[in-house]
Amino acid sequence: MNEERLRQFAALVAKWSPRINLVSKGDLPHIWERHVRDSLELVAHIPAGVTRAIDLGSGAGFPGMVLAVATGIEFTLIESDTRKAAFLMEAARILGAPVRVLNTRIEAAKTVPAPLVTARALAPLDKLLGLAAPHLAENGVCLFPKGRGAEVELTAARAVWHMEAERFASSLDAEACILKVSQIRHVGTSKAAAP
């Protein structure tokens, strides 16, 4: 992990946030704890050998930019908000991060499906799986940080998706967890999401 570059990224978020609302005003003093460290929780659950990933609805770069800086994995960050996408491009340039930014809606993004898809605070799991499936390579995994509603979201998602789902406790928040989801296929289809 490159803590110096991650601290530099946190400072960039703090600098840009008042202009383009990257994080809430109340979170500004707590970017490292609430956003950077929370994103870093995913590192331990990234499968060995992953060299490429896609982050959906990247916003301020959590978790995608943080994971790219921390691991060296090449990330495609998909962000529809033009100002946030501009921030991500500038942050990637300053940090020398291995990221490519797509300024488009997730549904319209043209990507080569990746073995890892991430997203944080984007949508309920049933909708999130629909967004992730076209971008997930066969036998790939999704890592999604979730809050106290994770079990409810899993139950709702299982009504429309077949999946393997593992739940890992967050070391930062007793009510939070990380969902590791694989073998995704929509109910009624016979094969897993593939390119």
Tell me what pLDDT residue 195 has: 43
pTM of the predicted structure, to 2 decimals: 0.92
The binding site for S-adenosyl-L-methionine consists of 57, 62, 106-107, 120
pLDDT mean over 26-54: 91
Task: Name the band, by pLDDT with cuts 50, 70 and 90, for residue 1.
Answer: low
Tell me what pLDDT residue 189 has: 58
Tell me what pLDDT residue 51 has: 96
Pairing mode, if any, of strands 114-118 and 161-169?
Answer: unpaired
pLDDT tens, residue by residue, 76-116: 999 999 999 999 999 999 999 999 999 999 999 999 999 99
Q: Can you read off the two tokens belonging to residue 39?
A: 């994103």
Torsion on CA atoms 6, 8, 9, 11, rounded to nearest 10: 130
Look at residue 75 and tell me whether its pLDDT is greater than 50.
yes
Helices (H), 41-192: 64-71, 82-95, 125-132, 150-158
pLDDT mean over 160-169: 95
Domains defined along the chain, listed by start: 3-186 (3.40.50.150)
The pLDDT mean for the chain works out to 92
Of the chain, the percentage scoring pLDDT greater than 70 comes to 96
The binding site consists of 57, 62, 106-107, 120
Look at residue 23 and tell me whether its pLDDT is greater than 70.
yes
Look at residue 194 and tell me whether its pLDDT is greater than 50.
no
Q: Are 147 and 174 in contact (CB under 8 A)?
A: no
